[in-house]
């Protein structure tokens, strides 16, 4: 009987298809990595963002798989035309109207598999604005690990998948100074990059530190977010980043905004851009 209910779904509706097998054609990372690796071979600056990028730089962590997951990329404005040409040559279909109107900050394509592709240009704008340019070239297929972590920690209203991505990054990567060039020794959460973003903007500092403070509670309430046997304790890593956030030199802009505090909202509530 249970098998019959599983096939029929709730209320007689067809059951949702099962999550894809890692590395299968249905796995969104298969699409994403093919495009990212092709771009790297062609010398085109196209880097993965989001949960798929987390999977790339934390390959030992059990993956969070969703069949309907979009592919998020980033590129630099100076390479926007090359990126668009590369994606089209790879069989991706552009939304020309959207790209003509918004291409200076975001582009939209559909992969040959039908999967949506968003390409952020120079910056990721959500609750805060993260300038991706300073550390863009550090990793071959993804944005910098510190930027990837910040892209998750900037979210004021964390959902479970973003919390899991934060825990995954903190469980797998050391907090350490980054080298001057491409990360030959593997990705790290660059303490300098982290501090420069938080020390330059009080709003960033306020949101990120609130999420770091919240993490031990989330781990206690939702133990499934963490995995045993990982290289680092995510709660300890969060505590270290919290100390770094407090110790980071603060800009004049930071201090002026701090004097206003929470009397004025310090973040945006992002809306989905219609394609």
Nearest CA to 119 among 109, 129, 111, 128? 109
Q: Which two tokens stand for residue 229?
A: 């046997």
In whole angstroms, give the CA distance from residue 239 to residue 245. Answer: 10
CA 234 to chain centre: 17
The answer to whether the beta carbons of residues 245 and 212 sit under 8 Å apart is: yes
Mean pLDDT of 148-177: 94
- Please give the Cα distance from 234 to 219 (Å, whole number): 9
Distance in Å from the first CA to the final CA of the chain: 43
Between these two residues, 64 and 13, which has the higher pLDDT value? Answer: 64
Tokens of residue 99, six digits? 């790209």
Give residue 35's pLDDT: 96
What is the tens place of the pLDDT at every residue in 187-224? 999 999 999 999 999 999 999 999 999 999 999 998 88
Which segments of the chain are extended strands (E)? 47-48, 71-75, 93-94, 106-110, 116-121, 123-125, 129-131, 175-176, 189-190
Distances, alpha carbon 139 to alpha carbons 51, 158, 168, in Å: 16, 26, 18
Q: How sure is the predictor about 18, in pLDDT bands with cuts at 50, 70 and 90?
A: low
Tens digit of each residue's pLDDT (9 = 90 or more) over 225-238 = 888 889 999 999 99
Q: Which helix (H) or strand (E) holds 230?
A: none
Q: Report pTM.
A: 0.88
Sign of the alpha-carbon dihedral angle for 125, 130, 134, 138: negative
Angstrom distance (rounded) from CA 127 to CA 131: 13
Q: Which two tokens stand for residue 40?
A: 């790297």
Neighbours of 158 (CB within 10 A): 19
- How far is the C-alpha of 119 from the C-alpha of 83, rounded, in Å? 9
Count Cα atoms within 13 angstroms, Cβ side, for 222.
Answer: 10
pLDDT tens, position by position, 169-188:
999 999 998 765 555 568 99
Tell me, what's the pLDDT at 47?
98
Q: What DSSP letter does each residue of 105-131 carry, written as one string?
A: TEEEEE-TTS-EEEEEESEEESSSEEE
Q: How confident is the model at residue 273 (pLDDT cuts 50, 70, 90)?
A: low
pLDDT (mean) for 53-63? 90
Burial of 70 (0-12, 13-18, 19+ CB in 10 A): middle
Question: Could you tell me the pLDDT band of residue 49, with boundaries at 50, 70 and 90?
Answer: very high
């Amino acid at each position: 009987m249970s098998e019959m209910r599983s096939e029929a779904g709730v209320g007689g509706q067809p059951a949702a298809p099962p999550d894809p097998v890692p590395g299968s054609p249905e796995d969104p990372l298969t699409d994403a990595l093919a495009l990212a690796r092709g771009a790297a071979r062609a010398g085109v600056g196209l880097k993965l963002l989001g949960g798929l990028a987390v999977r790339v730089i934390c390959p030992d962590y059990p993956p969070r798989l969703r069949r309907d997951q979009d592919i998020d990329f980033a590129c630099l404005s100076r390479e926007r035309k090359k990126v668009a040409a590369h994606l089209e040559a790879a069989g991706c279909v552009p939304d020309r109207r959207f790209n003509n109107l918004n291409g200076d900050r975001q582009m939209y394509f559909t992969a040959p598999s039908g999967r949506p592709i968003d390409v952020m240009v120079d910056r990721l704008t959500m609750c805060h604005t993260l300038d991706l340019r300073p550390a863009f070239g550090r990793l071959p297929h993804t944005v910098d690990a510190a930027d990837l972590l910040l892209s998750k920690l900037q979210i004021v209203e964390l959902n479970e998948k973003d919390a899991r991505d934060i825990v995954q990054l903190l469980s797998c990567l050391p907090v350490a100074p980054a080298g001057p060039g491409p990360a030959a020794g593997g990705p790290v959460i660059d303490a300098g990059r982290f501090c420069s973003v938080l020390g330059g903007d009080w709003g960033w500092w306020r949101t990120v530190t609130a999420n770091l403070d919240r993490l031990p509670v989330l781990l206690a309430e939702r133990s499934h977010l963490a995995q045993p046997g990982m290289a680092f304790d995510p709660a300890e890593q969060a505590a270290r980043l919290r100390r770094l956030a407090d110790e980071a030199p603060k800009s004049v802009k930071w201090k002026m905004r701090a004097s206003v505090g929470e009397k004025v909202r310090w973040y945006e509530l992002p809306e989905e851009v219609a394609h």
